[in-house]
Structure formats: structure tokens, C-alpha cells
Amino acid sequence: MDTKQENKKVFLEIVKQLKELIETEHIRPGDKLPSERVLSERLNVGRSSVREALRSLELLGLIETRQGGGTFLSSGQHIQLVEILASFILKDSRTVEEVHATRKMHEKEAIKVICSDKDLISLPVWESLFYKIEIESEVVRDHILRELIIASGNRLSLKIWMQLAAYSATPLKKITTLEEKPILLVLLKSIQLGYQKEALEAYEQWMQYIK
């Protein structure tokens, strides 16, 4: 089994293990969960793999980590939703296109929200990104997309997007190229002007380039 498949297996095993712990030990929101070491021993996987999976679960809002205090259950009712979501996303390669499409839905909605709010289009981050791309032409692609989601102000969307973006890692983690520079400049300037139609068109053009 390759590394990617192994990581998927670990993620699902940890979700399954937590679900069983919650049900059998009647763990309530706010209760402490087993340590990384304990989960590592139960699942027979390395602690680094456990740590990475727990980080993903934290981003989904299932657990929360308190510095020096351990890991705690955030909300018991999330566990089934997370298990279903994880199973869908991680199932196999047939879902890849659906994952990309779902991620793009969040990104396009963020653009719409930003362009319709005068305070959001005035955020300094757009000017900063514009000049960074114009002068240096080197920005990690998912940094731009993440700023869009953050600016939209939807925390749940951000948590979901981060998980979806993790499975688009190869293209999104790359540095922007000279060829996509004009597209990104149009995207960012359209956002600053509140031109939703033009921003969405530039976004779609950018996604086609990345694809």
C-alpha cells in the first residue's frame, strides 16, 4: 500500500476508534480523549501519523487540543458526520473530481460574498497579494485561495475547505507561474473593485490553467 493510501487508512481508523470510544465509554463534549501514544499503540501506527490525523480532525471541529492539557472532544454530535465525510472524501480515486468541484464551490461562494461587501473588498490583503504577484510573481496558490475563504468570514466553510484542499495538494501547493500572473492580477483587481462577474471569470480561467 502506498503512503497516500496508508494515510487514508490511518485517518479512517482513528475516526472509527474515536467513535467507538465515545459510544462505549460515554465520553461527553469537553471530556479528554486518549493520548497520541495510546492511539498509536491501539492502531499500531506511528505517532506522527496519529498526530497528523488528529490535526485533520481538529480542523473539522471534532476535537480540540489544549496546550499542555491534551485532546478533548468538541461536540459529540459531529462524530457521525465526520465519519461519513471522511469515508466519502477518502474512499477512492473516483471521488477526486467531486472533491475538487466541492472545493471550488466554497471558493466561488467566498468571491461572491467578498465582492458584495464594501468592507471586505477594502481589506489590505488584496493589495498586498496584488503587488506581491506583480513584482515577485511567486505566491503559493493555496495561500490566495485560503485568504478568500478566511475573508468570507465563514468558519465552517474554512474548516471544510482546508480538508478538501488537502486532497488537491499537488497543484495548489505549487508557486504561481508567469503565465498565470495576468489572470491573478485581474482576479485580485476585480475583487478590489467589487466586480463579481469579472472576478468569477478570472477565477474559472485560473482553475482551468491549474487543471
Residue 94 confidence (pLDDT) above 80: no
Report pLDDT digits (tens) over 172-208.
Answer: 878 899 999 999 999 999 999 999 999 999 999 999 9
**Residue 49, helix vs strand vs coil:** helix
pLDDT level of residue 6 (50, 70, 90 thresholds): low
Q: Which residue has the higher pLDDT, 13 or 47?
A: 47
141-150, 153-162, 199-208: range with lowest mean pLDDT: 153-162
What residues does each domain of the chain span?
A: 3-89, 94-210
Radius of gyration of the chain (CA): 19
Tell me which CATH homologous superfamily contains domain 94-210: GntR ligand-binding domain-like (1.20.120.530)
* Per-residue pLDDT, 80: 52
Pick the CATH number of 3-89 from 1.10.10.10, 3.40.800.20, 3.40.50.300, 3.40.50.1000: 1.10.10.10
- In the block, cell 464551490 appears at 105
Q: Which residue has the higher pLDDT, 146 or 63?
A: 146
Residue 175: which region, alpha, beta or left (left: phi > 0; alpha: psi -120 to 50)?
A: beta
Contact present, 5 and 53 (Cβ < 8 Å): no
Residue 90 confidence (pLDDT) above 60: no
Report pLDDT digits (tens) over 20-63.
Answer: 777 777 777 788 888 888 888 877 777 887 777 777 677 666 77
* Per-residue pLDDT, 75: 59
The reply to whether 94-210 shares the fold of 3-89 is: no
Q: Angle, to 10 degrees, between the axis of helix 36-43 and the axis of helix 3-24?
A: 110
* Per-residue pLDDT, 106: 95
Residue 209 confidence (pLDDT) above 90: yes
> What percentage of the chain reaches a pLDDT higher than 90?
36
